Chains A and B, each alone.
Chain A
Amino acid sequence: MSGPSHELDVSAFERGVSAECESGVPLGAYASSDAVHYLFLGARGAFALERPHADGRAATAFSATFPLFSWDEREMRDEWNVRFADLPDPRPLRGQDGRMPDALLATGGGLMHMVVGPVHAGIIEPGRFTFSSGGETVVHLDAQLSYSHRGVERHLCGTDALEAAAGVARICGSCSASRSLAYAQALEQLAGIELDPGVELARLVVVELERVYNHLADLAASAAGAGWGPGFARGMALKERAMRACRLGGGHRLLFDAIVPGGVGPSTLREPSELRATLRVLASSAEHYFAALFGNPSVVARWERAGVVSRKMARAFGAVGPASRASGGKIDVRAFAPYGAYRRIRVDAATAASGDAFARCCVKRDELRGSFRAIDEALAQLGDARPSAPKMPRLGPGAAIGVVEGPRGAETVAVHVDDRGRLSRLHVISASYRNWPIVAAAMDGNIVPDFPLVNKSFNLCYACADR
């Protein structure tokens, strides 16, 4: 991170942000008490373009031109009092005092409205979805989240940055390991330390295990969305095996605390050879599953042309991860800006072009194969060596950004640390936060009963989007 000392005059700042949005890789934006920070990904990692916001001048709302910043800028206004001259969506991003702002409706002859949530029928996180439809065809869907907003960023501020790692791991259960890694990366940049190659390999194993259990669950849910019960049951059984492998490899079924600042947790990779053998069997079971799933014409027919996201739309909304790569996007942080062991174990970005639920399932299948390969390679390189114990010096003041490719795309964590090693600002931009607006947009022209199918082909989290 360039740090707030890297002052730009306002028009140079605006030109810079626009140019990076046009041709670079935007990650998101946030405010701290005195500046606004727009984050982008370069080949050597994340960087920020910044300007002060407390100087009385209204800030430019980039979301007027680049809708991808819509949530970020509303949040900056609501929570950090950033004054924008021209914010397109005047509604608060989150519910205020327990009341959700009115949903955006499409109105006109014959259109009807249906509200679903925040409590849903299954074991799912809360959100309110308001459909405007003509008969069965959806004209507009407004997705309003924030029911899981706990105020995690403010809660962790003021605590010791190293001790806050356990909280960071519990912001969201489904992408815990990836976020822990992004957070650790940021603190390690601040400390200026390099890690042992063995520790980096162990971390690769942990975050790829996270991708494995998530993608298996997503494919299972997509089978369910297509109405194929046996495909769901088989997929969820594979996910259970993957979660047991997580416990074996990371000491926890959801990999909480398997990655810590300066290294890995004490239970990470205690039985590397048993893990390797287990995963080889799981990888071969997964292949049988793929053959059944992708060989089932009625499932594939339901996936095809459902929830289409065009390349243009994906870019405008700043989609990340499989949501972007299934629409022709090329960015996978592991390949574009390799970090840790990905500098030695290369992972190719899996892509597809059709932008529908089928394309997203194909990308996840291909990534599962890549994950099994990468883990096997990392475990081969590690052999029987146990990763060394975490080492972390006392932190000095400064700011840094960590970014890693999680199961749903770029997981970004920005940290500001004060001169006593405590967090003064923490900001989490999750892949789900980036991708939610596109789920809503992908429903246009689809029928209401296809919402579960379209939604599950993204399978985003709420907890890390709401924070």
Chain B
Amino acid sequence: MTQSSFRGSLGIRHLVCGSCNGCEHEMNALNNAYYDITRDGWDIVASPRHADVITVTGPMTVAMRAAAEQTVDAVPLPRVVVAIGDCAAGVGPWAGAPEAGEGAGVELEAAIFVHGCPPTPDAIRSGLEEAGTILSRGDVARAVKDQKRER
């Protein structure tokens, strides 16, 4: 019922799970005057409670795992996890490192994977647009399943 409104007003919460901070530089760029996602009605929000989309970066670390899961759980349904960067997809430089996990996006069941090391702000923007579409269609679960199958 509320579906079509999602695309135009995404609340985005960012979650860092062992990233090198490179992906964060590009996430931050979305807020600068050149990319300015607020023009699209999107907003990077401070609380998971205000979010529709959770962007996650990094390979996941042993130390972050519990806090990351709690943060995602705190986001109301329907929600979409978007994995930003190769690390979050489990194919970055730290895949297999002793204290790293399988990729934040893999572990937190991302519906969308934006590749790159780091991805460009434009690529991240496309990923977020896709997240809006999935939310509007209301088929997050299917998108997650498709991603798992592809892996």
Contacts and interface: CB of A to CB of B under 8 A. Distances in A.
B44 interface: yes
B38 to A, nearest CB: 11
B32 interface: yes
Interface of A: 94-95, 97-98, 100, 118-119, 121-126, 146-152, 154-155, 166-167, 170-174, 176, 233, 236-237, 239-240, 243, 253-254, 256, 461-463
Contact of B25 (A119, A149, A174): A174
A100 B63 contact: yes
Contacts of B32: 233, 236-237, 239-240
Interface residues of B, number: 45
B61 A147 contact: yes
Contacts of A126: 16-17, 64, 67
Given A149-B62, A167-B94, 13 more contacts: A95-B62, A98-B62, A118-B63, A121-B47, A122-B46, A125-B16, A148-B19, A149-B18, A151-B100, A173-B25, A176-B20, A253-B25, A461-B21
B67 A118 contact: yes
B77 interface: no
B63 A147 contact: yes
Contact of B21 (A97, A119, A173): A173
28 contacts: A94-B63, A97-B62, A98-B65, A118-B64, A119-B68, A121-B46, A122-B44, A122-B46, A125-B21, A126-B64, A126-B67, A147-B63, A148-B61, A148-B64, A149-B18, A150-B59, A151-B98, A155-B96, A155-B100, A167-B93, A170-B20, A170-B117, A173-B23, A174-B25, A233-B33, A240-B29, A254-B118, A463-B20
B107 interface: no
Interface of B: 14-29, 31-34, 44, 46-47, 58-59, 61-68, 71, 92-94, 96-100, 117-118, 120
A152 B94 contact: yes
Contacts of A147: 18, 61, 63-64, 67
A176 B16 contact: no
A233 B31 CA distance: 9
Counting chain A CB atoms within 10 Å of each CB, the highest count among B16, B29, B61, B63 belongs to B63
B29 A172 contact: no
A236 B63 contact: no
Contacts of B33: 233, 236-237, 240
Contact of A148 (B18, B29, B31): B18
A151 B97 contact: yes
Contact of B34 (A167, A240, A461): A240
A437 B27 CA distance: 27
Nearest to B74: A119
A119 B18 contact: no
